[in-house]
Amino acid sequence: MKTPFKLADIIVIAAAAGIVFFSAFTVYIKPAENTLILVRGQDSEWTFPADAKETIAVSGPLGETIIRIGDNCAWVESSPCDNQNCVAAGRLFRQGQWAACLPNNVLLMLHGKEGDDVGILAW
């Protein structure tokens, strides 16, 4: 009985998987010290370093959206919107991640410091 894979096939597949994992790790995971947390509301904007510990009440047309920052991550703790997608986004901890409460005009985004290649979303 002949096996469908040879040892060389398994080595090539394992090497390819390793390269993909390493590439994704180096591209998408940035150190926290290079990350800033951007919070935008209808009439205001805040920027915090990733290691800040803050609770922000952002006013919008529906009421207040509560954003928490701590342990090198940020998240929407509560919002007056109906669908709660912003709360379901969970903790953001990598550059480029974001959560938005569109009904309440609130944006939470992690982005790089000036000079990094991660852009800021325009509101």
CATH domain 32-112 topology: mini-chromosome maintenance (MCM) complex, domain 2 (2.60.320)
pLDDT digits (tens, 9 = 90+) for 97-122: 999 999 999 999 998 765 444 444 44
Q: Where exactly are the structural domains of the chain?
A: 32-112
Q: Does position 30 have pLDDT exceeding 70, yes or no? A: no
Which one is predicted more confidently, 2 or 72? 72
SS3 52: coil
pLDDT at position 32: 53
How many CA atoms lie within 13 Å of 48's alpha carbon, on the beta-carbon side? 21
Phi, psi of 41, rounded to the nearest 5 degrees: -120, -170
Residues 14, 56: Cα–Cα separation, whole Å? 46
